């Protein structure tokens, strides 16, 4: 009964704050769109977001926030202190673009050129990070204006290199965690959003548990004995051995992973070996990726790959070397179920219950998972597709035609703001 009375007492407070958030979001929307157009027109690649970071930092300083730059190379972190006791809420946006040429005919189309792994490349915000930055800047503006209603602190985290640091460099959320971005003050929970080009504007997609996959690249080197192609019995054939390994890897998914619980993927994306039609080579190299949605499946695949690769190599008299993970790996983007249940009413109130949908997990990955490995967090999808465009006609992420509409961002601003306010009010006694 006591808990119910407390909840009832909070309802007018939530309603009052929500109305104010709606009003301020309407007011700031033109500025959010202006920011988005700027960032879209001038994208920068991972760990090279110098002008982007400076633009963000200048604005946050204008709000009177405590701002730190150069975090994880080019990241920006700002703190809003309400002056009252309460939890520390982290809000994160990624800020890097991709080496993709833009084909859209927009007034703010990108024509920028950058350098990627030693090559000159076109640069585009082909995954919507321009909208992520703008939505978080909008939330920072509103939360600053509503400071008197907050309880605790907000840590705004503008993260570089979500798409992956250049070869030989560290970056992204993993480096931010190493540099203690979740400390001093210690973050209690963290929220993040991703725009979705395939979901209707005005909608929110959520899922408790694994919502995006862990990613584990791997490399397999198969070493045999070279011979003339006319005399294969004189060889230890690494190509035939590699072919058996590729097929056997698929049986891990089809025959060992419990697919009724969660999906998993093993894909070989590259095979290199040999240089002539009549020479059986000495060595073949395979490179691929693993995607999993729960830790149990991940552990199973790690063990099964070691077992199968070695056994097939032994059976063919070849030697094998498995490197797993290869050079980087991301944990599962995991929405803490109890936190998801707690904040779902906030999402439903913000977008309207009919516009909040439970979605299937995806096998794409997100380095927001490094933050969730440290503190409970939620990662959500904000629809960005025009309503008159069928989902199967919407351009995909990471492509030259990627497009999301400006009108989608207001819901993102409101979502970040309401999640923060509601969480703080519910945990104000911390």
Point out the residues that are catalytic.
Answer: 96, 162
| Angle at the Cα of 193 from the Cα atoms of 37 and 335, rounded to 5 degrees | 170
3-state DSSP assignment of residue 99: coil
User: What is the rounded distance in angstroms from the CA atom of residue 231 to the CA atom of residue 236?
Assistant: 11
Write out the H or E segment, with its range, that includes residue 155. Answer: strand 153-159
> Closest Cα to residue 94, out of 192, 198, 213, 216?
192
User: What is the rounded distance in angstroms from the CA atom of residue 311 to the CA atom of residue 76?
Assistant: 49
Helices assigned H by DSSP within 63-163: 129-145
Work out the number of other CB atoms within 10 angstroms of the CB of residue 42.
18
> Closest Cα to residue 45, out of 107, 104, 126?
126
CA distances from 133 to 38, 92, 137, 343 (A): 11, 9, 6, 22
Q: Exposed, middle or buried by CB within 10 Å (0-12, 13-18, 19+), for 98?
A: buried
**Which tokens hold the place of 167?**
């070869």
Work out the number of other CB atoms within 10 angstroms of the CB of residue 351.
20
Write out the H or E segment, with its range, that includes residue 77. Answer: strand 75-81
Check if the beta carbon of residue 108 is closer than 8 Å to that of residue 172.
no
Cβ neighbors of 269 (< 8 A, separation 6 or more) are 287, 288, 289
**Which tokens hold the place of 10?**
């909070």
**Which tokens hold the place of 361?**
């997990």
């Amino acid at each position: 009964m006591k808990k119910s009375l407390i909840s009832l007492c909070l309802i007018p407070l939530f309603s009052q704050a929500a109305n104010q958030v709606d009003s301020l979001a309407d007011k700031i929307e033109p500025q959010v769109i202006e920011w988005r157009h700027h960032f879209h027109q001038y994208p920068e690649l991972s760990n090279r977001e110098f002008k982007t970071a400076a633009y963000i930092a200048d604005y946050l300083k204008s709000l009177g926030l405590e701002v730190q730059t150069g975090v994880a190379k080019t990241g920006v972190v700002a703190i809003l202190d309400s002056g009252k006791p309460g939890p520390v809420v982290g809000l994160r946006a990624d800020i890097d673009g991709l080496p993709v040429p833009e084909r859209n005919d927009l007034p703010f189309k990108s024509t920028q050129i950058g350098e990627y792994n030693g090559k000159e490349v076109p640069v585009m915000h082909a995954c919507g990070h321009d909208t992520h930055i703008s939505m978080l800047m909008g939330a920072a503006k509103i939360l600053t204006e509503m400071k008197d209603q907050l309880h605790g602190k907000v840590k705004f985290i503008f993260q570089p290199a979500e798409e992956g640091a250049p070869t030989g460099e560290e970056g992204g959320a993993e480096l931010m965690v190493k540099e203690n971005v979740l400390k001093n003050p210690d973050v209690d929970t963290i929220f993040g959003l991703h725009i979705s080009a395939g979901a209707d504007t005005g909608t929110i997609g959520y899922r408790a548990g694994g919502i995006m996959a862990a990613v584990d690249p791997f490399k397999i080197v198969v070493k045999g004995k070279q011979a003339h192609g006319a005399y294969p019995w004189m060889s230890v054939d690494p190509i035939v051995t590699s072919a058996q390994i590729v097929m056997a890897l698929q049986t891990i998914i089809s025959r060992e992973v419990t697919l009724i619980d969660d999906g998993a993927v093993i894909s070989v994306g590259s095979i290199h070996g040999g240089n002539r039609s009549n020479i059986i080579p000495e060595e073949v190299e395979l490179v691929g990726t693993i995607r999993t949605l729960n830790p149990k499946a991940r552990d199973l695949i790690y063990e099964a790959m070691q077992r199968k690769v070695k056994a097939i190599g032994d059976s063919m008299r070849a030697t094998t070397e498995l490197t797993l993970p290869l050079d980087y790996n991301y944990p599962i983007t995991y929405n803490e179920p109890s936190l998801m249940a707690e904040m779902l009413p906030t999402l439903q109130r913000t977008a309207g219950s009919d516009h909040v949908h439970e979605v299937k997990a995806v096998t794409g990955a997100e380095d927001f998972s490094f933050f969730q490995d440290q503190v409970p967090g939620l990662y959500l999808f904000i629809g960005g597709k025009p309503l008159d465009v069928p989902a199967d006609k919407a351009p995909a992420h990471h492509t030259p035609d990627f497009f999301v509409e400006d009108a989608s961002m207001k819901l993102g601003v409101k979502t970040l703001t309401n999640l923060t306010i509601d969480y703080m009010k519910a945990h104000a006694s911390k």
